[in-house]
């Protein structure tokens, strides 16, 4: 009977050990599941951040294209204004030449 009792005690000890092992495995699985969920949330956050950065870069590129077009338009306007100013300078010189020649003619009459 002592042998049977020892045998039963060993089986009970083994059952306790098995329960503890299963409990530890369940705790490990639970921890891994939490880790996977955390990783998934971090990945989703990173994906949203990436999408935001991509959108901002795209918008910056569009803005840069618009600014480049505006700058080209301003350059065209500036070249036109320079041409007009040169024309006015030429006209002013011509007028001054005419006035100076008249003054020279008037001076010679006196």
The pLDDT assigned to 23 comes to 96
CA-to-CA distance for 39 and 43, rounded, in angstroms? 6
The pLDDT assigned to 107 comes to 59
pLDDT band per the 50, 70, 90 thresholds, residue 22: very high
What's the pTM?
0.53
pLDDT band per the 50, 70, 90 thresholds, residue 2: confident
- For a pLDDT cut of 90, what percent of the chain falls above it? 84
The answer to whether residue 39 scores a pLDDT higher than 80 is yes
Out of 45-49, 56-60, 81-85, 99-103, least confident range: 99-103
The sign of the CA dihedral 93, 96, 100, 106 is positive
Cα dist from 103 to 24, 93, 95, 106, whole Å: 114, 15, 12, 5
């Amino acid at each position: 009977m002592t042998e049977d009792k020892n045998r039963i005690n060993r089986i009970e000890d083994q059952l306790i050990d098995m329960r503890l092992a299963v409990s530890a495995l369940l705790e490990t699985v639970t921890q891994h599941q939490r880790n996977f969920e955390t990783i998934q949330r971090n990945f989703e956050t990173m994906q949203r951040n990436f999408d935001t950065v991509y959108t901002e870069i795209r918008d910056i590129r569009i803005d840069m294209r618009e600014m480049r077009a505006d700058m080209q338009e301003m350059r065209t306007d500036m070249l036109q204004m320079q041409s007009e100013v040169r024309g006015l300078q030429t006209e002013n010189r011509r007028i001054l030449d005419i006035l100076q020649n008249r003054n020279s003619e008037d001076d010679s009459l006196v």
